[in-house]
Structure 1
C-alpha cells in the first residue's frame, strides 16, 4: 500500500529542482523525446508521459499531465477510425478533436531539412 502511494505521488509531482520550467522548442521535443521513444531508448518519462486520450476529457488532462504551463506535452497512441484505413479517430465521449489551421513543418536548423510536422487540434 505504501509503495502504491509513493508511485502516485511521484506521478503528480516530479522531483525537479526549484524554478524548473519546461518550455521545449518543437525541434527539441522531436530530438530529445520523440525519437528516443520511437527507438525504445531509455529516457526520463517524468516530463513527457504516455496518456491514453480515449480515457480523459480535455478538462481532465491537466490532472494527468503535470508538465508545462500553457502547453501540455504527452505521448498518445494514434487510434484509427477504420481497421484498414488511414483516417485518425479523434472522437471522445463529450465531443471530438478537430484539426485546425495548416500543419507546421519543423526544421532542423543546421541542415534546414524537415524532421517533423506539428498539427494543431481543438476540442
Structure 2
C-alpha cells in the first residue's frame, strides 16, 4: 500500500479529521473501509503487537475497534487484554468542527498485569468517539484509536 504513495507522504490527520472523515463514516456505514485505518479487536491484541497489524505508520498507528462492554447490561467499557489493561488518564478533550462539538478524545496508558497492581508501560493510545446526543447508544459503537 505505501509503495503507491508519493515520496514523503505521511498519514497525519488532525483530531477533527479523524472524527469527521473516518469515524463518522465507519459508524454510519459498517462496510466502510480505509487503507489507513484498519479494524482490530483491542481486547485480543497486546500493544506491542498492534504496529504489525497497522496498514501504515512509523511512530503512530490507527485502528477502528468496536467497544467491548465490561458487563452485558452495563455501560462500562472493557479495556483488558491477556497481558494487562488500558487505563484512562486525564480528562477527555472536546473535538470541534466549525465551532460544533463533534467528538471526544480520551488518553489511555497500558498497564501490564491486573488492577490495581498493574505496572505502567510506555504504550499510550488516544481513543476518539463521536459526540453522542442520544441517551441510548446503538449496539455497535465504534471508536478510532491512535497508538503513539
TM-score range, shorter chain: 0.7 to 0.9
TM-score, normalized by length of structure 2?
A: 0.68
1:78 corresponding residue in structure 2 = 67
Provide, for residues 22-77 of structure 1, a one-character-per-residue CA deviation record: whole Å limited to 9, x for no partner: 11000001111111111117755110111111221101111111433332211011
Structure with bigger strand share is: 2
Match of 1:21, SS state, is coil
Moved more, 63-72 or 83-92: 63-72
For the 8 Å contact 1:99–1:121, the answer to whether it is kept is yes
**Residues 115, 14 of structure 1: alpha-carbon distance in 2 compared, 3 angstrom cutoff:** farther
Match of 1:54, SS state, is helix
TM-score, normalized by length of structure 1?
A: 0.80
CA RMSD of aligned residues (A): 1.9
Structure with bigger helix share is: 1
Structure 1 runs of 4+ off > 3 angstroms?
41-44
Q: 1:59 aligns with which of 41, 48, 73?
A: 48
Give the unaligned 5+ runs of structure 2.
111-148
Give the unaligned 5+ runs of structure 1.
1-9
Larger Rg: 1
Q: 2: distance between equivalents of 1:68 and 1:57?
A: 17
